Structures are given as C-alpha cells and as structure tokens.
C-alpha cells in the first residue's frame, strides 16, 4: 500500500509540474507580438519626406543619431536648441513618429535638409501642398514653418492659420505651397521643412511630428 501511495504522489507531482510548464509556455507565447506589416502606398503625385504610409521618398538620417551615408535627407537640430527622438507609441500613422522636446533657452528649431545633393527639384508642385500631422502638449508655444530654396531664400509662415493647436491631440496640417512668401523657387529646394518657435516660446515644450510629404495638388 505504501508503494502504491508513493507512486500516486509521484504521478501527482509530475502532472503538477507538467501543467505549470504548459501554462508558462502558453503565457510566453501570448507575450510574443507579431509586428504589423505596413504596406507602403505609392502615388506619383506625392513626395514623402518622413512617412510610414507613402513610399518613394529618400532615406532619412537624424544627424544626432548616427550616420547614414546613403541618406538624402538629414534632420538637423539648429544650434542644439531641442532634442529629437523616434517614438513608437501614440503615433499618428504607420509604426513611428518624431518626438521633439524644446530646450530651456530662448528659442528652438530644426529642419529636414536635402543632402547628397543639397537641393531637390520640385517642378510640378507649384499648385501643391505641404502636409504633415502634429501634436503638441497643452500650453506649448506657437510654431512657424520654413521652406528654404535657391540656397539663400527663406520663406516662413505661421502655423496659427492652418489648424495647429497645442491641445494634446493630433492635427493634420495642409499648407498650399503658394502661400509661402517669398514665392518658392521650386527648381532648387534646400530645406524641405523647417520648424521653429513663432511669437511665443515655451521652454521644454513637447511636440510630435508624423507623415510629412509634398503633394502636387
């Protein structure tokens, strides 16, 4: 009888251990998240600058996060006035967005500079738009945007009239390229998009930027 009891206890122990291992395996399998495959759209009327939705753009490099010799667009932080990192959560579309944190000084700015070569021909985009999505924490400062062209001319405008709000929500911005003053020299665009504070600067303000592209219409 003692032998039978010992055998039953041993079998019970083996079953408990097996069940525990099975449960652990199931939990580990549940933790495995298969990344969503994103199929890039192609549209001859759209030139993507930073996008997970539209393909056909150039390799982009964040100048402070390692060199990419093949990059055709480089994000420069102007005079170290902010921090920029890639954000994988709370994005607008696709799989990532850019998270910008203004510095503690008196201004901030950064730009998407064309490199290798240093200009882009946007002939055919004269009636188009600059589009992007942006989010800012409540109380963040005002913003203005830049397109630099002809290697010397800077065309700025305020985002206030184009739907920008510092309310913690994503907003789609669409700016007619014809609104920029002076008029853009589309043959030689050097900074595809620059962003800086406008009239009101709030140190340490936080912004998110996603889905940046030009359209022909």
- DSSP lists the bridge partners of residue 120 as 189
- Kindly tell me the burial class for residue 96, based on how many C-beta atoms sit within 10 Å of its own C-beta (0-12, 13-18, 19 or more): middle
Q: What's the distance, CA 81 to chain centroid? A: 18
Closest C-alpha among 90, 132, 133, 99 to residue 205: 99
Q: Can you tell me the distance from the alpha carbon of 189 to that of 185, in angstroms, rounded to the nearest whole number?
A: 7
10 contact partners, CB below 8 Å, separation of at least 6: none
CA distances from 101 to 42, 87, 130, 145, 153 (A): 32, 12, 23, 17, 27
Q: Are 59 and 72 in contact (CB under 8 A)?
A: yes
| pLDDT of amino acid 206 | 97
User: To the nearest whole number, what is the mean pLDDT of the chain?
Assistant: 86
**Furthest C-alpha separation in the chain:** 99
Q: Can you tell me the distance from the alpha carbon of 110 to that of 124, in angstroms, rounded to the nearest whole number?
A: 26
Q: Are 210 and 50 in contact (CB under 8 A)?
A: yes
Per residue in 43-76, pLDDT (tens digit) is 999 999 999 899 877 888 987 777 788 899 999 9
Given a cut of 60, whether residue 6 has pLDDT beyond it is no
- Element holding 2 (H helix, E strand): helix 2-31
Per residue in 111-157, pLDDT (tens digit) is 999 999 999 999 999 999 999 999 999 999 999 999 999 999 999 99
| CA 23, 26, 30, 31 torsion-angle sign | positive
Average pLDDT over residues 198-202: 94
Binning pLDDT at 50, 70 and 90, where does residue 37 land? low
Task: State whether residue 148 is helix, strand or coil.
Answer: strand
Closest C-alpha among 134, 146, 130 to residue 197: 146
Given a cut of 70, whether residue 19 has pLDDT beyond it is no
Q: In terms of pLDDT, which residue wins out, 39 or 163?
A: 163
| pLDDT of amino acid 58 | 87
73 contact partners, CB below 8 Å, separation of at least 6: 49, 50, 57, 58, 59, 60, 61, 112, 113, 114, 115, 192
Given a cut of 80, whether residue 95 has pLDDT beyond it is yes
Q: In terms of pLDDT, which residue wins out, 8 or 37?
A: 37
Q: Strand 143-149 vs strand 73-77: parallel, antiparallel, or unpaired?
A: unpaired
Given a cut of 60, whether residue 10 has pLDDT beyond it is no
């Amino acid at each position: 009888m003692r032998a039978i009891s010992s055998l039953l206890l041993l079998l019970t122990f083996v079953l408990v251990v097996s069940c525990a291992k099975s449960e652990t395996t199931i939990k580990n399998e549940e933790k495995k998240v298969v990344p969503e495959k994103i199929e890039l759209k192609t549209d001859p009327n759209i030139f993507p600058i930073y996008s997970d939705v539209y393909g056909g753009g150039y390799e982009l490099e964040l100048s402070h996060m390692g060199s990419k010799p093949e990059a055709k667009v480089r994000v420069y932080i102007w005079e170290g006035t902010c921090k920029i990192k890639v954000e994988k959560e709370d994005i607008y579309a696709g799989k990532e967005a850019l998270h910008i944190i203004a510095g503690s000084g008196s201004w901030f700015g950064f730009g998407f500079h064309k490199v290798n070569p240093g200009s882009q021909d946007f002939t055919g985009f004269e009636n188009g738009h600059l589009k992007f999505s942006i989010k800012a924490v409540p109380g963040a400062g005002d913003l203005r945007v830049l397109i630099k062209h002809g290697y010397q001319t800077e065309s700025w405008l305020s985002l206030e009239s184009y739907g920008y709000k510092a309310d913690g929500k994503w907003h789609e911005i669409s700016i007619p390229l014809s609104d920029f003053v002076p008029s853009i020299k589309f043959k030689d665009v050097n900074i595809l998009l620059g962003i800086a504070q406008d009239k009101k600067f709030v140190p340490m303000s936080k912004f998110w930027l996603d889905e940046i592209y030009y359209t022909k219409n």
